[in-house]
Chain A
Amino acid sequence: MDDIILRTISRLIIPFIEIYGVFIILHGHVSPGGGFSGGAILGTSLILYTLVFGVEKAQKKFSHKVSDIAESGGILWFILIGLVGIFVTGYFLTNINAGFPIGEPGLLLSAGMIPLLMIGIGIKVASTMITLFHTVIEEAHHGSA
Protein backbone atom coordinates (compact mmCIF):
# COMPACT_ATOMS: atom_id res chain seq x y z
CA MET A 1 0.00 0.00 0.00
CA ASP A 2 1.95 2.99 -1.28
CA ASP A 3 -0.06 6.15 -0.72
CA ILE A 4 1.47 9.51 0.22
CA ILE A 5 -1.46 10.56 2.42
CA LEU A 6 -1.35 7.31 4.40
CA ARG A 7 2.44 7.48 4.81
CA THR A 8 2.46 11.12 5.95
CA ILE A 9 -0.42 10.75 8.40
CA SER A 10 1.03 7.53 9.86
CA ARG A 11 4.43 9.15 10.33
CA LEU A 12 2.70 11.96 12.25
CA ILE A 13 0.39 9.80 14.36
CA ILE A 14 2.53 6.76 15.28
CA PRO A 15 4.80 8.64 17.78
CA PHE A 16 1.74 9.95 19.61
CA ILE A 17 0.22 6.45 19.88
CA GLU A 18 3.50 5.10 21.23
CA ILE A 19 3.83 7.91 23.79
CA TYR A 20 0.24 7.21 24.92
CA GLY A 21 1.06 3.52 25.34
CA VAL A 22 4.21 4.25 27.36
CA PHE A 23 2.23 6.74 29.48
CA ILE A 24 -0.39 4.09 30.30
CA ILE A 25 2.31 1.52 31.14
CA LEU A 26 4.21 3.88 33.46
CA HIS A 27 1.05 5.18 35.20
CA GLY A 28 -0.38 1.67 35.71
CA HIS A 29 -0.34 1.89 39.52
CA VAL A 30 -1.89 5.36 39.94
CA SER A 31 -4.49 5.55 37.14
CA PRO A 32 -6.59 3.18 34.97
CA GLY A 33 -4.58 0.99 32.67
CA GLY A 34 -1.42 -0.95 33.21
CA GLY A 35 0.99 -3.27 31.48
CA PHE A 36 -1.58 -5.18 29.41
CA SER A 37 -3.57 -2.19 28.08
CA GLY A 38 -0.48 -0.08 27.39
CA GLY A 39 1.31 -2.97 25.75
CA ALA A 40 -1.69 -3.60 23.50
CA ILE A 41 -1.67 0.07 22.42
CA LEU A 42 2.10 -0.10 21.72
CA GLY A 43 1.56 -3.26 19.66
CA THR A 44 -1.26 -1.56 17.74
CA SER A 45 1.07 1.26 16.70
CA LEU A 46 3.55 -1.29 15.31
CA ILE A 47 0.70 -3.07 13.48
CA LEU A 48 -0.24 0.29 11.89
CA TYR A 49 3.38 0.67 10.75
CA THR A 50 3.29 -2.81 9.20
CA LEU A 51 -0.01 -2.12 7.40
CA VAL A 52 1.22 1.16 5.86
CA PHE A 53 4.90 0.52 5.08
CA GLY A 54 4.79 -3.20 4.28
CA VAL A 55 5.99 -6.27 6.10
CA GLU A 56 9.57 -6.13 4.79
CA LYS A 57 10.32 -2.69 6.26
CA ALA A 58 8.59 -3.64 9.50
CA GLN A 59 10.69 -6.81 9.73
CA LYS A 60 13.82 -4.64 9.49
CA LYS A 61 12.59 -2.49 12.41
CA PHE A 62 11.25 -5.34 14.55
CA SER A 63 12.60 -8.70 13.42
CA HIS A 64 11.83 -12.11 14.92
CA LYS A 65 15.19 -12.02 16.72
CA VAL A 66 14.29 -8.77 18.52
CA SER A 67 10.82 -10.07 19.40
CA ASP A 68 12.33 -13.30 20.78
CA ILE A 69 14.59 -11.25 23.06
CA ALA A 70 11.71 -8.91 24.06
CA GLU A 71 9.28 -11.71 24.93
CA SER A 72 11.75 -13.83 26.88
CA GLY A 73 13.25 -10.76 28.52
CA GLY A 74 9.85 -9.49 29.66
CA ILE A 75 8.85 -12.70 31.42
CA LEU A 76 12.37 -13.28 32.82
CA TRP A 77 12.34 -9.75 34.27
CA PHE A 78 8.98 -10.54 35.95
CA ILE A 79 10.35 -13.79 37.44
CA LEU A 80 13.56 -12.07 38.58
CA ILE A 81 11.57 -9.43 40.51
CA GLY A 82 9.49 -12.23 42.03
CA LEU A 83 12.61 -14.16 43.07
CA VAL A 84 13.87 -11.14 45.03
CA GLY A 85 10.83 -11.64 47.28
CA ILE A 86 11.62 -15.38 47.67
CA PHE A 87 15.22 -14.76 48.68
CA VAL A 88 14.44 -11.96 51.15
CA THR A 89 11.19 -13.05 52.85
CA GLY A 90 10.36 -16.52 51.47
CA TYR A 91 7.24 -15.56 49.47
CA PHE A 92 7.02 -14.99 45.68
CA LEU A 93 6.42 -11.35 44.61
CA THR A 94 6.71 -9.83 48.09
CA ASN A 95 6.48 -6.08 47.67
CA ILE A 96 7.19 -3.74 50.58
CA ASN A 97 8.51 -6.31 53.07
CA ALA A 98 11.26 -7.32 50.63
CA GLY A 99 12.80 -3.86 50.80
CA PHE A 100 11.33 -2.15 47.75
CA PRO A 101 10.89 1.61 48.50
CA ILE A 102 7.22 2.50 48.96
CA GLY A 103 7.51 6.16 47.96
CA GLU A 104 4.64 8.57 48.47
CA PRO A 105 1.18 7.11 47.65
CA GLY A 106 -0.45 8.74 44.62
CA LEU A 107 2.79 9.91 43.01
CA LEU A 108 4.52 8.29 40.05
CA LEU A 109 7.40 6.88 42.12
CA SER A 110 5.40 4.74 44.54
CA ALA A 111 3.97 1.24 45.11
CA GLY A 112 7.34 -0.48 45.38
CA MET A 113 7.97 -2.95 42.55
CA ILE A 114 4.65 -2.61 40.67
CA PRO A 115 6.01 -0.11 38.07
CA LEU A 116 8.96 -2.44 37.36
CA LEU A 117 6.56 -5.38 36.81
CA MET A 118 4.36 -3.20 34.56
CA ILE A 119 7.34 -2.37 32.32
CA GLY A 120 8.08 -6.09 31.86
CA ILE A 121 4.43 -6.97 31.10
CA GLY A 122 4.15 -4.05 28.65
CA ILE A 123 7.21 -5.12 26.63
CA LYS A 124 5.99 -8.74 26.49
CA VAL A 125 2.41 -7.91 25.42
CA ALA A 126 3.54 -5.43 22.75
CA SER A 127 5.97 -7.89 21.19
CA THR A 128 3.38 -10.70 21.35
CA MET A 129 0.83 -8.58 19.43
CA ILE A 130 3.28 -7.67 16.67
CA THR A 131 4.62 -11.25 16.41
CA LEU A 132 1.08 -12.68 16.00
CA PHE A 133 0.31 -10.20 13.22
CA HIS A 134 3.65 -10.69 11.44
CA THR A 135 3.26 -14.49 11.50
CA VAL A 136 -0.22 -14.41 9.92
CA ILE A 137 0.76 -11.80 7.30
CA GLU A 138 3.99 -13.60 6.32
CA GLU A 139 2.20 -16.91 5.67
CA ALA A 140 -0.41 -15.11 3.53
CA HIS A 141 2.47 -13.54 1.60
CA HIS A 142 4.10 -16.89 0.85
CA GLY A 143 0.78 -18.57 0.08
CA SER A 144 -0.16 -16.10 -2.68
CA ALA A 145 3.31 -15.94 -4.23
Chain B
Amino acid sequence: MIVLNVFLVGFLIVCAIAVERTKDLLSAVIIFSAYSLIMSVLWLLLKSPDVALTEAAIGAGVTAILFIAVIARTERMES
Protein backbone atom coordinates (compact mmCIF):
# COMPACT_ATOMS: atom_id res chain seq x y z
CA MET B 1 0.00 0.00 0.00
CA ILE B 2 2.88 2.37 0.79
CA VAL B 3 4.36 1.72 -2.67
CA LEU B 4 1.03 2.63 -4.30
CA ASN B 5 0.79 5.79 -2.21
CA VAL B 6 4.32 6.89 -3.12
CA PHE B 7 3.66 6.16 -6.80
CA LEU B 8 0.42 8.20 -6.78
CA VAL B 9 1.99 11.16 -4.98
CA GLY B 10 4.94 11.09 -7.41
CA PHE B 11 2.53 11.12 -10.35
CA LEU B 12 0.72 14.04 -8.70
CA ILE B 13 3.97 16.07 -8.40
CA VAL B 14 4.93 15.31 -12.01
CA CYS B 15 1.45 16.39 -13.17
CA ALA B 16 1.60 19.64 -11.19
CA ILE B 17 5.00 20.57 -12.64
CA ALA B 18 3.85 19.64 -16.17
CA VAL B 19 0.75 21.85 -15.92
CA GLU B 20 2.98 24.78 -15.04
CA ARG B 21 5.62 24.06 -17.71
CA THR B 22 3.50 23.34 -20.80
CA LYS B 23 2.75 26.10 -23.31
CA ASP B 24 -0.27 24.37 -24.94
CA LEU B 25 -3.28 25.30 -22.79
CA LEU B 26 -5.41 22.37 -24.06
CA SER B 27 -2.68 19.92 -22.96
CA ALA B 28 -2.51 21.73 -19.62
CA VAL B 29 -6.25 21.26 -19.07
CA ILE B 30 -6.03 17.53 -19.88
CA ILE B 31 -3.03 17.07 -17.55
CA PHE B 32 -4.94 18.95 -14.84
CA SER B 33 -7.88 16.57 -15.37
CA ALA B 34 -5.56 13.58 -14.85
CA TYR B 35 -4.23 15.32 -11.71
CA SER B 36 -7.79 15.54 -10.37
CA LEU B 37 -8.47 11.88 -11.10
CA ILE B 38 -5.31 10.76 -9.23
CA MET B 39 -6.20 13.15 -6.40
CA SER B 40 -9.62 11.51 -6.18
CA VAL B 41 -8.02 8.04 -5.82
CA LEU B 42 -5.76 9.48 -3.10
CA TRP B 43 -8.77 10.88 -1.21
CA LEU B 44 -10.28 7.39 -1.37
CA LEU B 45 -7.08 5.89 0.09
CA LEU B 46 -7.22 8.53 2.84
CA LYS B 47 -10.67 7.10 3.77
CA SER B 48 -12.62 10.14 2.63
CA PRO B 49 -15.02 8.82 -0.05
CA ASP B 50 -17.21 11.91 0.19
CA VAL B 51 -14.45 14.26 -0.99
CA ALA B 52 -13.31 11.67 -3.57
CA LEU B 53 -16.78 11.63 -5.15
CA THR B 54 -16.92 15.42 -5.34
CA GLU B 55 -13.36 15.65 -6.71
CA ALA B 56 -14.12 13.13 -9.45
CA ALA B 57 -17.30 14.92 -10.50
CA ILE B 58 -16.11 18.53 -10.22
CA GLY B 59 -12.34 18.35 -10.75
CA ALA B 60 -12.14 15.79 -13.54
CA GLY B 61 -15.50 16.55 -15.17
CA VAL B 62 -17.03 19.99 -14.95
CA THR B 63 -13.82 22.03 -14.52
CA ALA B 64 -12.17 20.48 -17.59
CA ILE B 65 -15.28 21.04 -19.72
CA LEU B 66 -15.57 24.69 -18.65
CA PHE B 67 -11.84 25.32 -19.28
CA ILE B 68 -12.09 23.75 -22.76
CA ALA B 69 -15.14 25.90 -23.54
CA VAL B 70 -13.18 29.00 -22.55
CA ILE B 71 -10.14 27.91 -24.64
CA ALA B 72 -12.47 27.50 -27.63
CA ARG B 73 -13.31 31.20 -27.27
CA THR B 74 -9.71 32.40 -26.81
CA GLU B 75 -6.29 31.24 -28.00
CA ARG B 76 -4.94 27.74 -27.60
CA MET B 77 -1.24 28.55 -27.27
CA GLU B 78 0.25 30.58 -24.46
CA SER B 79 2.25 33.49 -25.86
Name the segment of B10-18, B21-29, B31-39, B50-58 touching the other chain: B50-58
Number of A-B contacts (CB under 8 A): 42
Main secondary structure of the interface of B (DSSP, over half): helix
Interface centre among A37, A41, A133, A136 (most CB of B within 10 A): A37
**How far is A129 from B58 in the complex, measured between Cα atoms in Å?**
10
Nearest-neighbour CB distance to chain A for B3, whole angstroms, equals 26
Contact yes or no, B57 A140, CB < 8 A: no
Contact yes or no, B61 A44, CB < 8 A: yes
Q: With a CB–CB cut-off of 8 A, which chain B residues contact A44?
A: 57, 61-62
**How far is A43 from B57 in the complex, measured between Cα atoms in Å?**
10
Contact yes or no, A32 B62, CB < 8 A: no
With an 8 Å Cβ cutoff, the count of chain B residues facing the other chain is 15
Contact yes or no, A47 B58, CB < 8 A: no
Nearest-neighbour CB distance to chain A for B43, whole angstroms, equals 11
Q: Which residues 39-67 of B sit at the A interface, judged by CB distance below 8 A?
A: 49-50, 52-54, 57-58, 61-62, 65-66
